[in-house]
Amino acid sequence: MEKNNEITCLIPASDIQARVKQCAKDISEEYRDKNLLFVGILKGSFVFLSDLVRELTIPCEISFMQAASYGSGSTSSGSVDIALDTKRSLKGYDVIVVEDIIDTGRTLQKISEMLRAREPESLRVITLLDKPSRRTVDFSADESLFSIHDLFVVGYGLDFGEKYRELPYIGVLCP
Ligand code: IMP
Ligand code: MG
């Protein structure tokens, strides 16, 4: 089992890769005749989105937004700042928002509302991880690859104080 001194593995890299591959296969079939645009939510989604698009068998475009609700710790500040907005028009595009993890749901609730108002052809949200027990607003993703308990996780793009994003697996910080 992948492990370092501070982190215990929760989801091994091989499990993540298998789910990402299947997700890319499903998208490749479903969006074959569409105008696919991914909007990745920085920074956490950068690894997931990179792996996902490289498994696609159809063309796509990629854009990013950045939201911040956590600061540098592990407790939510409660408000969502849009630090970087996608400047492009969504008209005529079938948009898939890609997120690392849904916690309270505030970030994606806000971003979905913003993007829907720009009238894309369709809009759908895919998240790598979901912590349904932590939800404080009524939001659910169209697809989540892994549902987890109320644990603070790192790796595969997710950080704690900007650290651990480079780990190829999802782990839990040891106390
Ligand atoms: P929400 O708005 O509360 O759903 O927060 C979602 C954001 O908080 C995610 O995009 C992550 O950046 C961050 N976050 C929530 N839970 C975790 C975690 O367990 N590890 C790392 N980041 C997290
Ligand atoms: Mg995030």
Q: Is the CB of 101 under 6 A from ligand 1?
A: yes
C-alpha 33 – ligand 1 centre gap (Å): 33
CB 152, CB 170: distance < 8 Å: no
Q: Is the CB of 112 under 6 A from ligand 1?
A: no
Q: What is the pLDDT of residue 106?
A: 94
In single-letter form, the type of residue at position 117 comes to: A
Strand order from edge to edge, sheet including 7-11: 7-11, 170-173, 153-154
Catalytic residue, from 51, 100, 103, 130: name it: 103
- Ligand 1 binding pocket mutation candidate from 100, 127, 160, 165 (most atoms within 8 A of CB): 100
Q: What is the pLDDT of residue 69?
A: 67
Q: Taking the chain, what is the end-to-end CA distance rounded to the nearest angstrom?
A: 19
- The residue assigned the tokens 């650290």 is 163
Render pLDDT for 69-115 as a digit per residue (tens, 0 to 9). 655 455 555 678 899 999 899 999 999 999 999 999 999 999 999 99
Q: What is the pLDDT of residue 2?
A: 52
Q: How far apart are CA 136 and CA 106, in angstroms?
A: 8
Averaged pLDDT for residues 8-35: 98
Partners of 123 in the beta sheet? Answer: 95
Q: Is the dihedral of CA 129, 63, 51, 82 positive or negative?
A: negative
Q: How far apart are CA 100 and CA 153, in angstroms?
A: 11
Check pLDDT > 70 for residue 5.
no
Q: Is the CB of 109 under 6 A from ligand 1?
A: no
Q: Length of the chain, please?
A: 175
CB 139, CB 155: distance < 8 Å: no
Which is it for strands 61-68 and 36-42: parallel, antiparallel or unpaired?
Answer: parallel
Q: Which of 17-21, 51-55, 69-73, 86-90 has the lowest mean pLDDT?
A: 69-73
Render pLDDT for 36-50 as a digit per residue (tens, 0 to 9). 999 999 999 999 999
Q: What ligand has the least distance to the C-alpha of 150?
A: 1
Averaged pLDDT for residues 128-143: 96
Look up 103 and say whether it is catalytic.
Answer: yes
Domains defined along the chain, listed by start: 13-151 (3.40.50.2020)
